[in-house]
Structure 1
Amino acid sequence: MADHSLGTPEQLRDPDFTPPLWKAVPLGIQHVLAMFVSNVTPAIIVAGAAGFGFGSNSPDFPELLYLIQMSMLFAGVATLLQTITIGPIGARLPIVQGTSFAFLPIMIPLVAGKGVDALAALFGGVIIGGIFHALLGTFIGKIRFALPPLVTGLVVTMIGLALVKTGIQYAAGGVPAIGTPEYGSLLNWSAAALVVIVTLGLKFFARGMLSVSAVLIGLVVGYVYSIMIGMLSVEQIAGSWSNAATFALPQPFKYGFEFSAAAIIGFCLMAFVSAVETVGDVSGITKGGADREATDKEIQGATYADGLGTAIAGFFGGFPNTSFSQNVGLIAMTGVMSRHVVTIGAIFLIICGFIPKVGGVIRTVPIEVLGGGVIVMFGMVVASGISMLSDVAWNRRNMVIFAISLSIGLGLQLEPGALQYLSDTPRILMTSGLLPAAFIAIVLNLILPEELADEATDEVSGGLAGQGKGSLPRSDRV
């Protein structure tokens, strides 16, 4: 419900309108709270996959802080590109940018167990992929036909399915703890479960900022609980705070630059998915906030900013950025379309990005507590994909496309050893599961004739084909 005390209905639908500052600042911070956990989580996951030590005395501790710092800083920079714009770059809309979960199935195999040395190739891929993503803005409208809900829904579902295992591992004690006696202990699960319970309670029974910030508050409650049960000590928190600098600037090419075919191909292919996601978010903002369709100029500018923001982040050790869908819902809920409100949130993120001590505090969140949060977040990614798939007409043709793409993609992800004789580049790309599933779905969607849509489907649906939604199988079948 829009708060008309902020301005007239016409003003609230105007991206160039600025509400009174005393209201604009908390609205901007509210946008940051809605996306903050999701924004820094990929950095922690990639660091964990690379084998970084998470203790404040670990030699990898400064690197982890830096990755968290860059996630905040360049989410803010990319958001400013969208709200303030530079020439054709940016949509001049209240679009909040943040680190994308979509690229995690590509990034995790690239760095798995390789430590800091793997980051040069990863960020090389981020830079090249970001430039490619920006180029998509010149013809994004012309390639949307190749990515209908069947394809995008499958890809988003696969992203979530690729990540849910990580959520469970974190809740049980984290990847380094696998095989140890404490892994999967009741104590570990109690912290994760508390986060899930608090998050769900606030999301469904609270209103306003409490509901919007449900995951963040759930993590705070879990954090306090972990201190109470001795999972985290005050001394550890103090050590992380004191070992982190008060102020630090980003360093260009901190981890070097390396051309990796697997990284470049993976990031460029995922750029298609991210670009389409941004198109959907821009359309959602203009429809929910201003009750109109997005213009071609807005969609093009948003895609340019998406890609350029990612490329700039890669130069300094930041991860790919994309528009955040949760903030689209927040605009529809508040009814405030002002891009200047989101600019305030972006400035807040940038300030946090220059203060490593913020990252130091985030780093102390126990992996089990974070696991509770990511279980909710990754589950929502799967649910979002299924929601997209609900728009698909489930005829024989589409069922075959979905079945084959999912079977091969998910199968390769679950059994990477099946491709052990491939060289590194194709093996990394194929065992992500995501890229083969997306490729197969796109190709089959383009080449399979539409006539298949009207044919019987018994051979692929166990005799339940052709039924209307919610109907029972016909009784005249033998």
Structure 2
Amino acid sequence: MNDTEQAASQTKPSRTINQNPDAMPPLGKAIPLGLQHIMAMFAGNVTPPIIIAGVIGASAGEQIFLIQVALFVAGVSTLIQTIGVGPFGARLPIVQGTSFGFLPVALPLAKAFGLPAVLGASFVAGLLQVVLGAFLKKIRHWFSPVVTGIVVLLIGITLMPVGLNYAAGGVGSDDFASPTNLALAFFVLIVTISVHQLGRGFIKASSILFGLAAGYLVAIALGMVDFTNLANAAWFSVPKPLEYGMQFSMTAIVGMTLIMFVVGLETIGNISAITTGGAGRPARDKELSGGVMADGVATSFAAVFNTLPNTAYAQNVGLITLTGVVSRHVVTIGGLLLIAMGLFPKLGGLVAAMPHAVLGGAGIVMFGMIASAGLKIIQECELDQRAMLIIAVALSLGIGLPAVEAISETMPGQAGLLLKSGLVPAAVAALALDAILPGKPGRQKPNPEEPVMTKSKGAEANP
């Protein structure tokens, strides 16, 4: 083989190339892969604004507007992560979207103070998250593999019931858990698994998209799709900033800031899951810091455009882990598609018409993959008695507290909300125990950006 042929063979798409965030698949493959990311996160992105619209008594037109700005903001925020702006952005395949994590605090605040107070508190919380990201390198040693892995694992476990609720048709639906919904979700699950196992290359990487598309077509044939909102949606509309204004309430700011720190830890876990589960390496300091800072910018930007805080989406981490395609340019295409949906509401309406059961069938796979990524991160440290004790306490709190709501209901105000989430006390417990228990905290593998210094002949490498 001559030099030209050898160079050509080295540029052919492969699993190794897919693991490179800077690799760019051909557009014919990149566009469907980007669309797959959007379809995976779409329901989660528009559901929080729909919920908040019901709380504030929004009209049908206001609800469409809130969905529109949620799509637009998610698209712009995604581009900040994938392309990067100065120090902001991880430059990894991170999909941003409206955060469910803020809802437990945002909903009571919206009832008590109104949406402007929630937006004002979100704006401040976003700025504080930027500060957290800027100093992240100095405190990164707090987030050992056992701590980060626990958070990622609990994110997946927390989302598993969400996937099953979608599969049953969505909480509150008239036909919840009907045989039709469950059968449709099972059909999507089978198609996704079959394509992933039997397909090769692009087909294998697009297994979620094939499952969603097949389920959507079957749902249309069964008469389960309602296109009413699609017909009523405008063809083109530019989102308006500060439509509801902002108010700054100290109570609201404190509540949103507390949740912001947890969401920041989730973002650290999601970035770690992407690099570990997809790229096969630990996350770098610049990626973690830039990703958390971009998360904060996205949250403040979202507040200006009348929607709830944004964060890195865990379901897309599961998709990356499942497909192995870690190209940030693929997600950039997805971000552009989200912006288009925000500018052309009918495009968003087309995807919004997809039944929850279809999304649930794919969610069962993706959310489980997130938990698997968490386990993979935990394996980076030695699972001695010390690590096992940290895992035991954190998982007991993270899974047990949401299951026993009576405990959180006895706590006053924000404390009860934080306990009810489960993830907050679990993360705090993992951080505290890893810092104070005797013995060495779990360490990550050497950072690829930092050269390993060696001693004289016969000496071991520095840890």
TM-score (norm 2): 0.77
What is the aligned counterpart of 2:147 among 142, 148, 151? 151
Seen in structure 2, the aligned counterparts of structure 1 residues 4 and 352 have a Cα distance that, compared at 3 Å, is: farther
How many residues get paired?
425
Seen in structure 2, the aligned counterparts of structure 1 residues 228 and 59 have a Cα distance that, compared at 3 Å, is: farther
Q: Which runs of 5+ in 1 are unaligned?
A: 454-478
What is the aligned counterpart of 1:98 among 92, 96, 99? 96
- Separation (CA, whole Å) in 2 of partners of 1:382 and 1:63: 36
- Separation (CA, whole Å) in 2 of partners of 1:219 and 1:264: 36
Q: Which string of whole-angstrom CA distances, capped at 9 and with x for unpartnered residues, describes residues 358-387 of structure 1?
A: 221222112222222322222222222222
What is the aligned counterpart of 1:141 among 137, 140, 146? 137
- Separation (CA, whole Å) in 2 of partners of 1:18 and 1:375: 29
Is it true that 1:195 corresponds to 2:191 in the alignment?
A: no
Is it true that 1:441 corresponds to 2:430 in the alignment?
A: yes
| Correspondence for 2:76 | 77
Seen in structure 2, the aligned counterparts of structure 1 residues 301 and 379 have a Cα distance that, compared at 3 Å, is: closer
Moved more, 184-193 or 387-396: 387-396
Seen in structure 2, the aligned counterparts of structure 1 residues 17 and 95 have a Cα distance that, compared at 3 Å, is: closer
Q: Residue 299 of structure 1: CA displacement?
A: 5.0
- Separation (CA, whole Å) in 1 of partners of 2:28 and 2:111: 39
Q: Which string of whole-angstrom CA distances, capped at 9 and with x for unpartnered residues, describes residues 137-174 of structure 1?
A: 32222222111121112112222222222222222232
Asked whether the equivalents of residues 115 and 244 of structure 2 are also in contact (C-alpha less than 8 Å), the reply is yes
Asked whether the equivalents of residues 51 and 115 of structure 1 are also in contact (C-alpha less than 8 Å), the reply is no
Identity of counterpart residues, as a percentage? 32
Amino acid of the residue matched to residue 124 of structure 2? I
* CA RMSD after TM alignment: 3.9
| Correspondence for 2:367 | 378
Moved more, 260-269 or 105-114: 105-114
Seen in structure 2, the aligned counterparts of structure 1 residues 81 and 110 have a Cα distance that, compared at 3 Å, is: closer
Is it true that 1:347 corresponds to 2:336 in the alignment?
A: yes
- Separation (CA, whole Å) in 2 of partners of 1:168 and 1:211: 24
Is it true that 1:183 corresponds to 2:179 in the alignment?
A: no
Q: Residue 32 of structure 1: CA displacement?
A: 1.6
1:9-408 counterparts in 2 under 5 A?
24-47=26-49, 50=52, 52=54, 61-90=60-89, 93=91, 95-99=93-97, 103-108=99-104, 110-111=106-107, 119-120=115-116, 122-177=118-173, 182-232=175-225, 236-237=226-227, 239-257=228-246, 259=249, 260=252, 261-275=254-268, 277-278=270-271, 281=274, 297=286, 300-316=289-305, 317=307, 319-322=309-312, 325=317, 333=325, 343-408=332-397
- Separation (CA, whole Å) in 2 of partners of 1:142 and 1:384: 25
Q: Residue 421 of structure 1: CA displacement?
A: 3.0
- Separation (CA, whole Å) in 2 of partners of 1:193 and 1:331: 20
Asked whether the equivalents of residues 109 and 432 of structure 1 are also in contact (C-alpha less than 8 Å), the reply is no
| Correspondence for 2:398 | 409
Asked whether the equivalents of residues 124 and 263 of structure 1 are also in contact (C-alpha less than 8 Å), the reply is no
Amino acid of the residue matched to residue 26 of structure 1? G
- Separation (CA, whole Å) in 2 of partners of 1:419 and 1:228: 45
Moved more, 349-358 or 210-219: 210-219
Q: Which string of whole-angstrom CA distances, capped at 9 and with x for unpartnered residues, describes residues 10-41 of structure 1?
A: xx89x99997xxx7533542442241123323
Amino acid of the residue matched to residue 89 of structure 1? F
Q: Which string of whole-angstrom CA distances, capped at 9 and with x for unpartnered residues, describes residues 202-255 of structure 1?
A: 2222233333332233222222222222323xxx31x22221111122222345
